[in-house]
Every structure is written in C-alpha cells, then in structure tokens.
Amino acid sequence: MTASHSPFVSLVGAGPGDPELLTLKAYRLIQAADVVVYDRLVSDEIMALVNPDAELLFVGKKLSQHCVPQDQINQILVDKALEGKHVVRLKGGDTFIFGRGGEELETLVEHNIGFEVVPGITAASGCSAYAGIPLTHRDHAQSVQFIAGHLKKEGRDIEWQSLAHNNHTLVFYMGLKQAPVIKTNLIAHGLASDTPCAIIERGTTSQQRVLTAQLCDLEDIANQAISPSLIIVGSVTRLHKKLSWFK
C-alpha cells in the first residue's frame, strides 16, 4: 500500500450492520486509519472497532435531511488526504451500490490522490440472507434487480414495465417513503396485486425485524417500518418463515 505520507484514501464497505460481516481487509484498515469519514448506516458495533486514536468525522445523510452535502464530503476526503493522513471513507453496505462511492473517487482522481476500494456486503445480500429470503431460487426467481427507491431530482424515472415480471426479485433500497409509488406502479404495469413482498428493518443487527404482506398492502407495512429498511418484492419472500434462522 502507498506510504502513509502520500495522499491516500481507502473507500471501505462496512456491510449491512453485523460487525462479523466486515471483510478482513476492512477490519485491518479501520484499525489503522488516521481519519474515518463515516455515514449514518455504519453500525455502532462496527464503529467500536475503529482505531480509538482516529479522528472521526460523521457525514451521515437521511432523506430530505443531508447532514453534509456530497460535494463537501468529497472535499473533506481531499483535505484530509492532503494533510498526509491515511483516510478511510467508511460506508454502510457496499461502496459502489447506491453509495455514491464512484463520485467520491472521481474527485480524488481530479486531485491526484491515490485510493483503493474494499467492497462490502451490500444490504440486499446481507439482509435477505439473515431474513431467510434467497434472492434467486429455481422455483421462484431466475433474476434479481436492485433499485434505488428515490432518484436524483433531475434523474430519469424508473422503467416500471421492465420490473413487472413474475420470475423476478426486486430489491428497493431507501424505498420506505416511496412505498405507495412502488406499489401503484408495479401493479399498474402488470404485477399481480397479491405478489408477496417483505420489508427487512435494520437487517443483520440484533434489532432486525421482517414484515411480510402482499404487494397491495406494501404501503401499510411500510408505515410500520423505520429506516434503514429494505423492500423485497417477489415470491421468494414466501420462504422467509421456512428459512429464517437469525434470531
């Protein structure tokens, strides 16, 4: 790895919450970091493993409530790296799946700052596994798709027609507020109203809770859930009670 005096940032995925899901490399880096820039989805249990002498900078975001705007986060990474410190940018889940890691790296490249990327277990994989919901299954789904539950204001709308397939599993990140829109559009584009679905709240942590319903009732269970939560739509969610193992 680059010497500590050279500008360098490690972009690290922390996984969905359970500290035992950290990769060995992620654990080694947070133990050695001079600065850790972390977000809201990094669990307290994982933060407890960070080098106690490291400078901790919280840049968490919530829907419609950004603690630190993205451009400022990018600048923090640049500034701290240029101080000659080894910076770890610690993100919940995986750095490249709805984590805006690519945007942060682009800024580092513009400033000629070295970096590395350490993947993390994304929420869809971790939470579904702990909930006993296989994302693909020979009898239920031959494909899976990850969808951001909210878009940038200037972004394209979701192509709902491409999502409404019976042999398909849909995983919506950050979708609680958009549950009525998700339900309405999927049904309008051909998915049956009785399609099974599930919401996994605080997945892989000791506070994990799984709510199940039919698609027509998705809004009702979304109103009972709190963030962070993941929405899964598809017949694989029927397997939750049969395969659930995490207590």
Q: Which residue numbers are catalytic?
A: 39, 61
Q: What angle do CA 89, 91, 96 make, to 5 degrees?
A: 100
C-alpha to C-alpha distance for 97 and 41, rounded to whole angstroms: 13
The crossing angle, in degrees rounded to 10, of helices 101-110 and 70-82 is 50
Where does residue 56 rank: exposed (0-12), middle (13-18), buried (19+ CB within 10 A)? middle
**CB-facing half-sphere around the CA of 100: CA atoms within 13 A:** 15
**Which residues, other chains included, contact 206 with Cβ-Cβ below 8 Å and sequence gap of 6+?**
none
**CA dist 145 to 57, 91, 167, 173, 193, Å?**
33, 21, 11, 11, 19
Do 119 and 23 contact (CB within 8 A), yes or no?
Answer: yes
